[in-house]
């Protein structure tokens, strides 16, 4: 390689590295801001309180990431988490076999949605928007008013307090690593990502795009169930509206983590980092900044826009 060629490649490599590190830099900036506003929050107890809801947010973000990987979008994941929460706080506690059967059936419904979207070539936004009303209605039928109780084993698991490192951080790390290994380090994970990146090539190679869509939507349903379980294990009771805000949080977490809406370009670890960033920014940072709750949604949107603008600038340097 000539000197001129080496010099030409340096800006590209630097920009690509900066783009990869952008989710971690965003999280670091949020942590620095929290440390500056309230140094006492940077402690074992502080992180445990600030990341109280980080586990369900990380799980729902991974669920959305599976759908985005195949170039689709799920607008029903938030109400679905609420539905799972209502089932968990009622049937799973009172009649565990019935509750488990309902949750397994819900995962199969998610896989069937993937098949329907693929076979009929339907817009996923429209289908999942319609399903959001279905999940919401079912949740209200199961639990018309907030209440119920989480299973004891679930509350015990979510209340686990390991030494040195808060449980939400350990759980988020495990979630990211499991999703990363399954999607990025296995041969079938490559095929699943290829279904979003170049579906025609995957089909010509003999792999079923229908099966890929069903698997990815089924995984989204599975992680949505995990998110609902974690949420109820943390809050200890159910509410039909408890997960409504998770749809936008999940999309924002994937995008903050470096994911894109097309091309099968996602990052499981980045998505988890994005979820942690949102969990900290949505509650602790904005509270310490004395921003009224009515303005906190707008502030979260501003954070997302800033990160996206930085990604655009970096992408221009890559080009």
pLDDT digits (tens, 9 = 90+) for 80-126: 999 999 999 999 999 999 999 999 999 999 999 999 999 999 999 99
Classify residue 3: in a domain, yes or no.
no
Domain range for 52: 41-318
Res 310: pLDDT: 72
Res 9: pLDDT: 47
pTM surpassing 0.75? yes
Classify residue 75: in a domain, yes or no.
yes
- The number of CA neighbours under 13 Å toward the Cβ of 220 is 32
Question: Cα separation of 295 and 272, whole Å?
Answer: 25
Classify residue 312: in a domain, yes or no.
yes
Classify residue 216: in a domain, yes or no.
yes
Q: pLDDT grade, residue 3 (50/70/90)?
A: very low
Q: Which residue reads 């990604």 in tokens?
A: 311
Res 318: pLDDT: 59
Q: What is the dihedral of CA 189, 190, 192, 198, to 10 degrees?
A: 170
End-to-end CA distance of the chain: 20
Res 315: pLDDT: 63
The DSSP secondary structure of 80-92, one letter per residue, reads HHHHHHHHHHTHH
Rounded mean pLDDT, 60-83: 96
Give just the sign of the alpha carbon dihedral 270, 53, 247, 174: positive
Classify residue 4: in a domain, yes or no.
no
Classify residue 247: in a domain, yes or no.
yes
| Residue 245 DSSP SS3 | coil
Out of 76-80, 184-188, 254-258, give the one with best mean pLDDT: 76-80
Please, are residues 206 and 183 in contact by the beta-carbon 8 Å criterion? no
The mean pLDDT value of the chain amounts to 87
Query: Which CATH number does the domain housing residue 221 bear?
Result: 1.10.3470
| Residue 204 DSSP SS3 | helix
Question: Cα separation of 55 and 253, whole Å?
Answer: 13
Q: pLDDT grade, residue 197 (50/70/90)?
A: confident
Question: Cα separation of 254 and 131, whole Å?
Answer: 21
Classify residue 274: in a domain, yes or no.
yes
pLDDT digits (tens, 9 = 90+) for 149-194: 999 999 999 999 999 999 999 999 999 999 999 999 999 999 999 9
Please, are residues 124 and 77 in contact by the beta-carbon 8 Å criterion? no
Helix and strand totals (H; E) in the chain: 16, 0
Please, are residues 279 and 57 in contact by the beta-carbon 8 Å criterion? yes
Pair of tokens at residue 174: 């495990």
**Cα separations (Å) of 42 from 12, 277, 286?**
36, 15, 16
Give percent above pLDDT 70 in the chain. Answer: 85
Pair of tokens at residue 24: 């971690």
Please, are residues 131 and 110 in contact by the beta-carbon 8 Å criterion? no
- The domain total for the chain is 1
Classify residue 32: in a domain, yes or no.
no
């Amino acid at each position: 390689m000539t000197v001129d060629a080496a010099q030409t490649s340096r800006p590209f490599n630097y920009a690509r590295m900066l783009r990869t590190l952008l989710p971690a830099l965003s999280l670091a900036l949020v942590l620095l801001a929290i440390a500056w506003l309230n140094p006492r929050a940077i402690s074992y107890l502080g992180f445990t309180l600030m990341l109280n809801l980080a586990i369900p947010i990380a799980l729902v973000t991974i669920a959305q990431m599976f759908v985005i990987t195949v170039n689709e979008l799920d607008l029903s994941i938030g109400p679905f988490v609420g539905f799972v929460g209502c089932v968990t706080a009622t049937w799973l506690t009172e009649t565990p076999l019935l509750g488990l059967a309902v949750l397994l059936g819900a995962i199969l419904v998610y896989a069937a949605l993937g098949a329907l979207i693929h076979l009929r070539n339907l817009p996923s936004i429209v289908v999942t928007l319609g399903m959001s009303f279905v999940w919401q209605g079912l949740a209200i039928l199961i639990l018309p008013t907030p209440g119920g109780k989480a299973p004891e084993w679930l509350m015990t698991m979510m209340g686990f307090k390991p030494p040195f490192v808060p449980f939400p951080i350990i759980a988020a790390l495990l979630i990211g690593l499991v999703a990363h290994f399954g999607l990025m380090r296995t041969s079938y994970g490559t095929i699943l990502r290829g279904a979003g990146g170049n579906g025609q090539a995957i089909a010509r190679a003999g792999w079923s795009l229908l099966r890929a869509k069903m698997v990815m939507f089924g995984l989204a349903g599975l992680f949505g169930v995990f998110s609902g379980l974690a949420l109820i294990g943390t809050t200890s009771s159910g509410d039909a509206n408890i997960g409504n805000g998770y749809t936008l949080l999940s999309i924002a977490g994937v995008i903050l983590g470096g994911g894109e809406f097309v091309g099968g370009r996602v990052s499981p670890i980045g998505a988890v980092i994005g979820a942690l960033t949102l969990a900290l920014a949505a509650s602790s940072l904005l509270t310490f900044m004395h921003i009224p709750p009515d303005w906190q949604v707008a502030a979260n949107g501003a954070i997302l826009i800033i990160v996206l603008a930085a990604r655009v600038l970096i992408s221009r340097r890559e080009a």
